[in-house]
A and B are shown apart, each in its own frame.
Chain A
């Protein structure tokens, strides 16, 4: 199985701040990476696929980048509705997820 290591596990940021979450794969996943947002008590929602493509309806303040084994999710100008947990997922092989990043407001 491809292991996904996500960091940080938790993050506290202020409104308007830029936030970056990292995800490292145990081997090259050739941009087969998705990011999901999960608000408390809700199901995950797709944000980004193919490492850097925005899913329909996702605000443009979200962006993804990376290649090989290293990927990141950036949130520009943090809004209160962005408080959530974020998960990366590789799909180069059978799907595996990162451990998640819990984002809170400072």
Chain B
């Protein structure tokens, strides 16, 4: 049974810092991995999708990496801003097209 773990559960950093969010999964037989952000009371916004054959994806200040063999993904946020404050969710997609989510990392960027 696939399990996804996100560390840390919460993170608070000053504005401008670069930071890394971690995601690990127990079963490396995944199709792809997707990072989402969720703002309080809102839905999930897709940030980056990494297919199993890829090593990384970039979008603006965000860079996500994937190491299938070790069951790990990281989300790197450069030059953090207060608007980046949200909960970040990692989810892996397996054969039955189910998304398996981690519990998320609650990120706070302090001005």
> Do A and B originate from a single complex?
no
